[in-house]
Structure 1
Amino acid sequence: MVNLRKKLPPLTALTAFEAAARLSSFTRAATELGVTQAAISRQIHLLEEDFGFPLFRRLHRKIELTDKGRLLYAAAGDAFNLIADTVADLRSEGADDELAIAATISFSHFWLLPRIAAFSRAYPEIKLRIITQDARTSIEASDVDLAIRYGTGTWPDGQAEFLFEDEVFPICSADYLATADPIRTPGDLINHPLITSDIDDPTWTGWDEWLAAFSVKAPKRARGLRCSFYTEAIYAAMNGQGIALGWNRLVSDLIRQTRLVRLTEASIRTRAAYFVVVPARRPKKESGRLFIEWLREVSSSAE
């Protein structure tokens, strides 16, 4: 074992290399591994120093494997896949049928958790584990059985199945509406504090896009609270801080509970949709199939 360790490069550096080679990007590798791009570059530089030759060609806006880099990637990929498959087999032997479900904070908080008790009542033998995270990590490289994501449905780490689209409209609290100036058209909204959230997703609908759909130009310096997460924006709206954009699938329960009020009939359809994603190279669990069927039933009944 000692001799074997001396022959192998550092595992951290090899992991960074495998991710960068598979994704053809230092940036995407950093996102997958939850580190900075500088950390990925540093690990690969150390690996290249250790080998004494380059593994990548650094081109304008992209990277390419060298011939020796391709040989290393083929070996590393086969080795990592073998280890991952073996670990998955070991974990499944004699283990409870635990189903690990990943979702964003907002989807988990506003849609999934209020409904998931119904699934547990229908299938009490299935143990659930909810993994809430806004940072998207590879489900192939984790123990997640399925992930609920918003986007275009094209992700390299799994097979995506369409769940539902959504619509977006302005919302606020009843207390705010009672004291605010009248809001009859989308153009009236720019006279109010508009609550925003910092979401690094080009398919997510923000105020600029929403207002532009009704030929309204968003003010350059709009009043309103800026939040880090969408959940914070919704709670700010419920507490009377101003007006937020409500995604129907996420805020419909709050509207029924009169904790939020929909403003105007104006709305736009989302450019992307919600999908359930399952690992492409891992056997699908029966509990996962049952959960996806339940997701479809619940989402279709809410339409």
Structure 2
Amino acid sequence: MPVSPPRPKQLPMTALRAFETAARLGGFAAAAQELGISPGAVSAHVKTLEDSLRAPLFLRSAKGVTLTALGARVLPDFTSAFDQMGQAMQLLHSEAAPQVVHIAALPAVAQFWLSPRLPALRAAAPDIEISITAMEMPPNLKRAPYDLCLFYDAALGEEVAQDGITPVCAPSFADQLRSPADLQHVPCLSDSSWSKDWDHWLQAACPDTAITPRGPEFSLYALAVEETVNGAGVLIGHTALIERQLNSGALVAPFETVVSLPLSLRLWSPRRHRRGSPAGQVARWLTGAGRVPDL
């Protein structure tokens, strides 16, 4: 009778991924954010792996975790392996559903810049399906299954829109604003992601005037814009995102000064797309500032 020898037990893939991510990013909290799980779950996965190996991969202290010599020695191979697996999965996604283009974008960009352009894109390329995921930070493009990314950056990819900041308000509110000094006496709305915008604009528009804007802060730029349209106060507006509201007259800019930002809205991709591929067509369309190319 043939004898089947016992096979060595495989290490759990989820635990290996948790280790690699935590090691690469330098901590369990950062790994949890990338993986979409809790820091406790990352810690548990790593502990499971260490128990299986009967060897520590991290040194734990009150200040955080650091790699052991063993962990540091194997990290490059695991990073390379997971990068290659991520790229293979991206290829599988694109080959299995070639007409679906997955875009990752900043939430405000997805709603205010990208969404208004989708009807014309669908009309120009009805066979292409656009899938949008809104997220606060750009994804790890070596791992995430996105075809295109649309975020603010200084150098990555191709610029699709420049941006500037200037106070905006409802037309009925504009009569209260004769000069920037009047901002001291009205509610000044802001977005928590761009909390320094008011300071940047005031330093450029009136550097010799001491003005401390006060007003509600919103975690959603869309809510801040809606409240401004409703007459709640003055918002430091991003011109690339509120173009429709300014053109329609729902919002007005009471002052002439528009301060340019060092970061522009840019589009990039984890890989080079063929010119005629769906992702390549969408990229060409978006970088054409809304003009429909030959799709």
Question: Which TM-score applies when normalising by structure 2?
Answer: 0.81
Q: Tell me which residue corresponds to 1:143.
A: 145
Q: Secondary structure at the match of 2:262?
A: coil
CA RMSD of aligned residues (A): 3.0
Q: Secondary structure at the match of 2:188?
A: coil
- In 1: Cα distance, 2:135 partner to 2:96 partner: 28
Deviates more, 1:87-96 or 1:26-35: 87-96
For the pair 1:284 / 2:281, whether they are aligned, the reply is no
Deviates more, 1:94-103 or 1:141-150: 94-103
- In 2: Cα distance, 1:135 partner to 1:288 partner: 21
Unaligned ranges ≥5, structure 2: 1-5
Q: Tell me which residue corresponds to 2:179.
A: 185
Please say if residues 163 and 299 of structure 1, whose CA atoms lie closer than 8 Å, have aligned partners that are also in contact. Answer: no
Unaligned ranges ≥5, structure 1: 155-159
Please say if residues 196 and 224 of structure 1, whose CA atoms lie closer than 8 Å, have aligned partners that are also in contact. Answer: yes
- In 2: Cα distance, 1:73 partner to 1:268 partner: 44
| Per-residue deviation, 1:90 | 3.8
AA in 2 matched with 1:51:
L
| Per-residue deviation, 1:126 | 1.9
| Per-residue deviation, 1:48 | 3.0
- In 1: Cα distance, 2:160 partner to 2:27 partner: 29
Please say if residues 158 and 287 of structure 2, whose CA atoms lie closer than 8 Å, have aligned partners that are also in contact. Answer: no
Post-superposition CA distance 1:109-150 (Å, at most 9, x none): 111111122222222232221222335432332221111011
Alignment length (residue pairs): 283
Please say if residues 208 and 218 of structure 1, whose CA atoms lie closer than 8 Å, have aligned partners that are also in contact. Answer: no
Name the CA shift for 1:267/1:61 in 2 (closer, same or farther; >3 Å): farther
Name the CA shift for 1:12/1:153 in 2 (closer, same or farther; >3 Å): farther
- In 2: Cα distance, 1:284 partner to 1:146 partner: 10
Q: Tell me which residue corresponds to 1:120.
A: 122
| Per-residue deviation, 1:266 | 1.6
AA in 2 matched with 1:184:
R
- In 1: Cα distance, 2:108 partner to 2:98 partner: 28
Kindly report which structure 2 residues correspond to 1:1-303, keeping only aligned pairs within 5 A, or say none: 7-57=9-59, 65-93=67-95, 95-153=97-155, 160-178=157-175, 181=176, 183-199=177-193, 205-213=196-204, 214-215=206-207, 216-219=209-212, 223-280=214-271, 284=273, 286-298=277-289
| Per-residue deviation, 1:186 | 2.3
| Per-residue deviation, 1:35 | 3.5
- In 1: Cα distance, 2:95 partner to 2:110 partner: 29
| Per-residue deviation, 1:194 | 0.6
- In 1: Cα distance, 2:192 partner to 2:78 partner: 37
Deviates more, 1:74-83 or 1:28-37: 74-83
Deviates more, 1:162-171 or 1:116-125: 116-125
Q: Secondary structure at the match of 1:274?
A: strand
Name the CA shift for 1:148/1:50 in 2 (closer, same or farther; >3 Å): same
- In 2: Cα distance, 1:74 partner to 1:253 partner: 47
